[in-house]
Amino acid sequence: MTTGADNNLWQTGGMIRIDLERPEGVRWVPDRPTGDGVLVVAGSSGRVDTDRARLFADLGCVAESIRWLGGPGQHPDPWEIPLETFLDRIDDLKQSCDRVHIVGLSFGAEAALLCGAHSPNIDSVIAFAPTDVVWAGYDHDRETSHWTLDGRPLAYVPMDWQNYVAEPVPRYRPHYERSRVTFADRVPAATIPVDRIAQLILVAGGEDQVWSSVGHARRIRAIRSAAGLPTELIAVADAGHRAILPGEVEVVAGATMQRGGTPAADRDLGRQAWRAITAMLGSS
């Protein structure tokens, strides 16, 4: 098995754990692989989501998560992040797996949807708190795209800072909604080509205060429906930005902001999402 990196390898709980470098990450290899590989992409923290990757490995998937932000040689903030950061890991998983899936949250969902639209090696995308468009990133005062592909920044929707209303604990949803209206002319070019994705599960909370993930998910579903493609949308009205999957603990780290929802509603969303995910993996 290749890891694309120098690594430390050991066995724990009947599972092999491989610690990756360049980029930093972890790969879990179950003792009885199903043939599925999964790349887990965290949100704006860019962290290695070891625990969520382990959940997928418990299902028999070879499961990875990598740091995509703030590591050696990486940008400190989400601007012009090469999609190849993820696509290279997808290609590596494909060497040892029959089917490969990418799972992302928030900015990580943005990356996952883009990767699914541009890589033939991705069999499905699972997007938590998704967006239907690419958003702006900032290198200090320079506005650019969150992402690049083949070295070129992708088209994006700018943020409307002139009308931004600061709050003691930021609630970014109105900011994103206002920016979409202000820069409506930029939306078509920045729309993610989700009709190129083979199979898609969307997970969204109606009380998400980071951005309108349910609204984004419905737009994604409409685009795919117009192309004759099915989309599974899991939504819970009173859940927030972060679904909590069975076996996960509530994440309290990350940037200070309002995320919405309640632990109970977020767990309900996670349970419903996990049923859909396990059913999809079981049928693949």
What average pLDDT does the chain have?
Answer: 94
Going by pLDDT thresholds of 50, 70 and 90, the confidence category of residue 5 is very low
Say yes or no to pLDDT of 1 above 70.
no
**φ, ψ for residue 157, nearest 5 deg:** -95, 120
pLDDT tens digit sequence for 88-137: 999 999 999 999 999 999 999 999 999 999 999 999 999 999 999 999 99
Say yes or no to pLDDT of 252 above 80.
no
**φ, ψ for residue 155, nearest 5 deg:** -60, 145
The pLDDT, as a whole number, for residue 62 is: 98
Query: The whole model's pTM is what?
Result: 0.94
* Closest C-alpha among 78, 140, 71, 88 to residue 109: 78
Burial 150-184 (b: 16+ CB within 10 A, else e): eeeebebbebbeeeeeeeeebebbebbebbbebbe
- DSSP per position, 221-273: HHHHHHTT---EEEEETT--S----TTPPPP--SSS----S-HHHHHHHHHHH
**φ, ψ for residue 136, nearest 5 deg:** -70, 150
Q: What angle do CA 230, 83, 99 make, to 5 degrees?
A: 50
Residue 63: both structure tokens together: 């499961």
Domain at 7-283, CATH class: alpha beta
Whole-angstrom CA distances from 1 to 96, 135, 279 are 7, 36, 27
Is 68 in contact with 132 (CB distance < 8 Å)? Answer: no
pLDDT tens digit sequence for 125-182: 999 999 999 999 999 999 999 999 999 999 999 999 999 888 888 999 999 999 999 9
Q: Are strands 152-153 and 147-149 parallel, antiparallel or unpaired?
A: antiparallel
pLDDT tens digit sequence for 6-24: 447 777 777 999 999 989 9
Is 60 in contact with 30 (CB distance < 8 Å)? Answer: yes
Q: Where are the domains of the chain?
A: 7-283
Whole-angstrom CA distances from 71 to 102, 239, 246 are 21, 31, 29
* Closest C-alpha among 252, 242, 250, 249 to residue 273: 242
Mean pLDDT computed over 237-245: 98
The pLDDT, as a whole number, for residue 14 is: 78
Element (H or E) spanning 143, and its range? strand 142-145
Give 26's strand partners.
19, 65
Say yes or no to pLDDT of 68 above 60.
yes
Report d(CA 71, CA 67) in Å as an integer: 7
Report d(CA 135, CA 129) in Å as an integer: 14
Mean pLDDT computed over 223-246: 98
Say yes or no to pLDDT of 26 above 60.
yes
